[in-house]
Chains A and B, each alone.
Chain A
Amino acid sequence: MASAHHDEHPTGLKRWLFTTNHKDIGTLYLLFSLLMLFVGGAMALVVRAELFQPGLQIVDPHFFNQMTTMHALVMIFGAVMPGFVGFANWQLPMMIGAPDMALPRMNNWSFWILPFAFTLLLSGLFLPGGGPAGGWTLYAPLSTKGGMSMDFTILAIHMLGISSVLGAINIIVTVLNMRAPGMTLMKMPLFVWTWLITAFLLIAAMPVLAGAVTMLLTDRHFGTHFFDAAGGGDPVMFQHIFWFFGHPEVYIMILPAFGIASQIIPTFARKPLFGYESMVYATASIAFLSFIVWAHHMFTVGMPAGGELFFMYATMLIAVPTGVKVFNWVATMWRGSMTFETPMLYAIAFVFLFTIGGLSGLMLAIVPADFQYQDTYFVVAHFHYVLFSGAVMAMMGGAFYWLPKWTGHMYNETLGKWHFWLTAIFFNVTFFPQHFLGLAGMPRRIPDYALQFTEFNQISSIGAFGLGLSQLLFVYIIVQTIRGGKKATDKVWEGAEGLEWTLSSPPPYHSFVVAPTIK
């Protein structure tokens, strides 16, 4: 596919600093995401260590609040979003038969904003008063009154937003303009579709967050009162604006996971994806609905009954396209010649566990029930089922699925299976008991709790440390695969379909120099 000339590239530090190659930038994104997974994970372990017993043991409450806040910001903006962008960079051009992303220099810039943004965000922890501690939602007035680190956070969020929007623009332009001849929209792999829709969500949602934090900044330093009731402003307006971004953000973090599962399941079921078109329409429906459900995050602020009913029913409506997707994944597996290699185990766990998270989401959508669950551990359990066993486990499955293609080596299947089972078991040990804690009334974001919550908290903390330690195995497997191992074939998986599998493993530095023709 490519001559030796096309494999020439700079080496050393220059290669990574100045690269405009989609594979290099994809690798940078994925490594950054992995690093942030450990940084955010360490913060989660501080939280879980403190919650192992009631009372205050290890950290003071203010630092505890900084840890819950920073854990969320790091995981959302540092681990999950860049992780999926890494997958998009590696896979999208190869899947649509393009030589690279449409705007390669901008691609480099999109990535290199991230390390600076996170240096800014994390350095807040070392400022007088410590890091931001009001929760990742940055609700006013906590955020308008917070210390200097809030300004760092606001600037970091601006930088992350710019990075995301530039990345999204690049993805849309690549998918719309650079597809190989014959690759019509309805022939695109589902991962490409889910990313195309996600990119539109990013462009519509991130500027709203940028607007919200800009208003926070002017409230803090320039005498405005957007969110200050004493000056005629409205703190509840911040929540509306924030969640108008925040709910699409939830789908920004899950739609690409749907795409990865939709690639893996047909491969190991050895059947085409069931209901391809309905998958595309379901993804688009979920994206549309994500913009009209934001107030379900704030039922308890007090809004007219009509508003509560609207947001309740609209939220429940999301279960319909999501149900279509789950049905299609199961129908793809139905009577397939299934094998259970590590990526498939992750994809099946994703379908099963994400559905649990979806169902607890439906419980939260019911207004009178939400009045009880609001700000309890039930919410924490719900979104970790969606975000860890949804987004993160889909990414892990995707990593095992494409790692042989990327590195040219097969990973160690036994270790891969060990990693899967350790992750799946410890994940459930960590988060399933949190449902019971929440239903029993344990509030979230507190360093201390009543005695009756002790046992479930101890189980959860043990699970969290197990989950954290298991990820060292993930790093070991990745390093081992990069360094060597059994040579991967071009197709890698017997049932794999798609353009990326027509390239060599590893693919040439510049793939599809001559566009392939799709029949």
Chain B
Amino acid sequence: MMANTDKKQAMRRANLRTALVLGAVAVGLFIYTLVHGFK
């Protein structure tokens, strides 16, 4: 039971990490587009 909960927590952390990286890429592209506009 304990091992199962740990596994779930690890999966949640991994999911959150991947989501944050992808979200950062999206926000980065948005900012890059705006910066491009100032050129």
Contact = CB atoms under 8 A, between A and B. Distances in A.
Contact of B22 (A173, A215, A226, A241): A173
A102 interface: yes
B27 to A, nearest CB: 7
A165 B26 contact: yes
A459 interface: no
A58 B22 CA distance: 48
Interface residues of B, number: 20
A208 B15 CA distance: 25
Contact of B15 (A102, A206, A211, A241): A102
Contacts of B28: 207
A46 interface: no
A211 B25 contact: no
A464 interface: no
B23 to A, nearest CB: 6
A237 interface: yes
A207 B37 contact: no
B19 A208 contact: no
B22 A207 contact: no
Given A203-B25, A207-B28, 10 more contacts: A106-B19, A172-B22, A173-B19, A177-B14, A177-B15, A178-B15, A207-B26, A211-B29, A212-B33, A226-B37
B13 to A, nearest CB: 10
Contacts of A204: 25, 29
B34 interface: yes
Interface in B2-39: 11, 14-16, 18-19, 22-23, 25-34, 36-37
Contacts of A103: 15-16, 19
Contact of B36 (A165, A168, A173, A241): A241
A96 interface: no
B15 A207 contact: no
Contact of A176 (B16, B18, B25, B31): B18
A215 B15 contact: no
Interface of A: 102-103, 106, 165, 168-170, 172-173, 176-178, 203-204, 206-208, 210-212, 214-215, 226, 237, 241
A208 B37 contact: no
A215 B34 contact: yes
A6 B19 CA distance: 27
Contacts of A170: 19
22 contacts: A102-B18, A102-B19, A103-B16, A165-B26, A168-B22, A172-B18, A172-B22, A173-B22, A177-B18, A178-B15, A203-B22, A204-B29, A206-B26, A207-B27, A207-B28, A210-B33, A211-B33, A212-B33, A214-B30, A215-B37, A237-B37, A241-B36
A215 B38 CA distance: 10
Contact of B30 (A169, A172, A176, A210): A210
Q: Interface centre among A169, A170, A204, A241, by most B CB within 10 Å?
A: A169
A89 B26 CA distance: 21
Q: Interface centre among B14, B22, B27, by most A CB within 10 Å?
A: B22
Q: Considering the complex of A and B, which 8 residue pairs feature the smallest CB-CB distances, nearest first?
A: A211-B33, A207-B30, A207-B29, A102-B15, A169-B22, A173-B18, A226-B37, A207-B26
A362 B7 CA distance: 51
A179 to B, nearest CB: 12
B33 A241 contact: yes
A211 B23 contact: no
A91 B33 CA distance: 34
Nearest to A233: B37
Contacts of B36: 211, 241
B33 to A, nearest CB: 3
Given A211-B37, A237-B37, A173 B15 contact: yes
A215 B23 CA distance: 21
A165 B22 CA distance: 9
Contacts of A207: 26-30, 33
A208 B26 CA distance: 9
Contacts of B30: 207-208, 210-211, 214
Contacts of B25: 203-204
A39 B4 CA distance: 48
Contacts of A214: 30, 34
A168 B21 CA distance: 13
Contacts of A241: 33, 36-37
